[in-house]
Structure 1
Amino acid sequence: METLNKINEARLFRMLAKSSETGAIPGQGLRRLALSAEDKEMRNIFKAWCEEAGLMVKVDDFGNMYGRREGKKNLPPVVLGSHLDSQPEGGRFDGVLGVLLALEVIHSLNDNEVDTERPIEIVNFTNEEGARFEPPMLGSGGIAGVFDEDYVHSRQDHDGFSFLDELKKIGYHGTKENRIKEFYSFVELHIEQGPILEDENKQIGIVEGVQGISWLEVALSGEADHAGPTPMHLRKDALMAAAEIMTQLESKAIQAGVTVTVGKISVSPDTVNCIPGKAVFTIDLRSADDQKRSEAVKEAKSCIREVCQKRGVKVDIEELWDTGKADFDKHITNIIEKNAENLHYSSKRLLSGAGHDAKYVNNLGPTAMIFLPSVNGKSHVPSELTEDDDIVKGANVLYQMALELANE
């Protein structure tokens, strides 16, 4: 099989550089929150690039953007893509590579005058990160039926702005008819966001599935008092209760073989010499085993209630998000592996610890993911980095794999 580089590296890195300027923050990071002015600017750029590549661009009612390259036959398309939004202090590669490398595949097919049997579509999903509108992956979850239209449109950010109003404000509220309904295969290329590929010196990750994820929000109500006159044994300290809960959850998670993260916490009153009367924090629980994760959620709730009862603190637990493990299509993963081998790239099969749009798209049809190494396993931070050589290898695998699938 011919293994010559089919992509235009200079063009690919020009696109990546332009994306990295749009919403840039110090430290080579990116702040491009969903439906923000920066997101609008990047969407406009992406739309123009798609049109330059001869793609027909459509937008659905969740703001998901599609660019379609027609095939020889009117068959269900091969779909490639990811997302262009970022964390508040995120990196330049998370999601972005999956969209821009897909676009480079289209450009390169055009350059090489290759016609495929099936159409190929690229997609930019809305609000994958969930950094502005919770929960994450609203665009892909909307088309997959995980969230209904009213639910997605009614989500509000921390300033009270609704998803729908902000979608209209940036000019990307499309129609329900434009949702992707049927496809032959979907492949999302993404950075690993973990250390495994780099640690094992593997160039391509073949993702076989995504862990299940549960999010809880815990609100504790005790009594605010003065730090000096209030004896320790008479306190109803919401923050100390939270601290004990967190410590116990960490220990229980290690024993149960799941991961637990407390990513957000707020305290009131937030002063040095006051006992906190209220504490609100989140819990993120993940596992590749849905039963283990379900048991861990039950154990966490039981632990929270026991600690609060002991300390005289009231508690309210809200389930923010719950999504099970996803298993990806074996035919597609085998094709990814075969093309990596043909290109003489080392590879490894693994599970994703992070959620991705592919997780929900998997509900609609055959789906898989390609991972590229993340330097030091870093992601969601400005120091996030995937080396140029690894990006080119990912683009080559995506090109060959897309070409094979589109001709099946």
Structure 2
Amino acid sequence: MDPGTPQQEWDRLDRARRALARRHGEKLLAEVRGGGNLRARRDASSLLAFAIALLVHGATMALAFGGIWWLVRGWGGAGMVPGVILLAIAWFLRPRVVQLPEEGPILRRSDAPELFALVDEVAQVVGTRGVDLITADAELNASVTTCGVRGRRLLVLGLPLWEILTPQQRIALLGHELAHYSNGDTRHGLVVKTAYRSLTTWRYVLLPVRNPSFVEMVGNLLCIAPNLLVLGLLTLLEHLTLRATQRAEYLADREAARAASTEAAVGLMDWLLVSDSAVVALQREANQAALAGPRGSRTANAGAEELWERLRAHMASIPEYEYERQRRVGSRRGHSVDTTHPPTHLRSSCLLVGEPAPAAVVMDAGRERRIAAELAAARVNVAQRIVREGFNGYGSAQ
């Protein structure tokens, strides 16, 4: 039933994350199935996480101000050296905002008015505003983020996932992603998110060097205390935000059902259960093109649209017992696979608790054709990249 059980070795932080995910996940599941109120709220854990994030950013600012002070104090002499070092460290550890992706087309409202209108309609249903930019990539995934110093909202549509969904399931996908803006997920907030990235960077810098020389061994010893401090802060931040993060997924699923219908949201979960099959199909397409050599590249240019048709046909051929097998695999592995998302089969079962929701947004055939026309160039672009460069984009809706 489960030949692909993960056997990877986890470090201390990963073990702590998975233990917390299991504990919080089981409590949340009981709340959801019991009809509890999951609405995101600012509790003591959220406030403490925000305070820790401010402390992390404050430490970076202290390094920057210390560097400036040393530069001014030792201007023209050796005292400038500590200042330059501190400023360099502060710059390396600075909070980083998400930048626009370098690959893939960036769509603005003038490029895809019908798609943006659909996003706006779904956003209104889930209680937020639409996005400023949309991009398409080659991942079996979808996500939203805030990018740049201006805080523009970006929707990333993974076309391998988008193309296998029905029109209503696409609305459910949009509803789930946009709900992350409205459900108050602490870890998605700018202050906590950038602090989390900074701590992850610090931990990477402070990791001990393997097979060290004598000098590196001294450096490893000096980094023990800072490394433990950073590890402790990361674990604490995980503990304070993980419950809110998993709660946000259940809330986003509910909003997806409200926007597109319970049936469509459950259908989206079913596709995520068998997403491994889509990965295999796209890897096969890339491998066949690579074996064909130059002729395969010409085929990629001429028949990129056919790739999506073959992918849809492959996914439609998956028998029902494979869905059931994946549900049993998820039940066997429990909450230990993904620290931020509840298991997919549990998300699906929780959507079926209570009365099914009707669709608030309906995709008619005319709108579907217009959106397909707006994404035509992106579909060709992404299909060519998959065939030419190979496929390893793998993930689930987040």
What interval of TM-score do these two structures reach, taking the shorter chain for normalisation?
A: under 0.3
TM-score normalised by L of structure 2: 0.26
Considering fraction of residues, name the structure with more helix: 2
TM-score normalised by L of structure 1: 0.25
Considering fraction of residues, name the structure with more strand: 1
